[in-house]
């Protein structure tokens, strides 16, 4: 596609339920990133993938959070046993590579609301 696509755009769930958020990166982009943006706050790094290398999971806030990526395509961020503090916009970005100078292209985000 022309840009990074995220689905769903909005997700409302009940506390304790599991949710899956999907990201389709730009074709040919080998690096993929997940961020969390709480209301009125900046972007919080969660995880990034580069090709077939082991992902950098250093930003995942707890073991309830996990992410997978199939090759250099779709990624899924899973949050188990959701809590109200998980409510935020989850942003996905992709770039040509993991090199530090590469521009990240962002999706519109998934707004997660945990009731």
Partner 1 sequence: AQSVAQPEDQVNVAEGNPLTVKCTYSVSGNPYLFWYVQYPNRGLQFLLKYITGDNLVKGSYGFEAEFNKSQTSFHLKKPSALVSDSALYFCAVRDRDTNAGKSTFGDGTTLTVKP
- Note whether 28 binds partner 1 by CB under 8 A: no
Q: What is the largest CA-CA distance in the chain?
A: 40
Measured from the CB of residue 27, what is the shortest distance to partner 1 in angstroms? 17
Helix (H) or strand (E) holding 112: strand 110-114
CB 80, CB 100: distance < 8 Å:
no
Q: Which CB atom, from 80 or from 111, has the smaller least distance to partner 1?
A: 111
At 71, list the tokens.
Answer: 């090759």
What does the alpha-carbon distance between residue 58 and residue 44 come to, in Å, rounded to a whole number?
11
CB of 59 to partner 1, least distance (A): 8
Instruction: Pick out residues in 44-73 that bind partner 1 (CB under 8 A).
Output: 45, 48, 50, 56, 58-59
Interface residues toward partner 1, by CB under 8 A: 4, 31, 33, 35, 41-43, 45, 48, 50, 56, 58-59, 91, 93, 98-101, 103-109
């Amino acid at each position: 596609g022309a840009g990074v696509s995220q689905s769903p755009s909005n997700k409302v769930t009940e506390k304790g339920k599991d949710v899956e958020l999907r990201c389709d990166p730009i074709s040919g982009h080998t690096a993929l990133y997940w961020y969390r943006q709480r209301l009125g706050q900046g972007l919080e790094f969660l995880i990034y993938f580069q090709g077939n290398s082991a992902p950098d999971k250093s930003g995942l806030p707890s073991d309830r959070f996990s992410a997978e990526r199939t090759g250099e395509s779709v990624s899924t961020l899973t949050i188990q046993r959701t809590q109200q503090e998980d409510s935020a916009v989850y942003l996905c970005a992709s770039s040509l590579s993991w090199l530090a100078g590469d521009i990240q292209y962002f999706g519109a985000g998934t707004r997660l609301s945990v009731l």
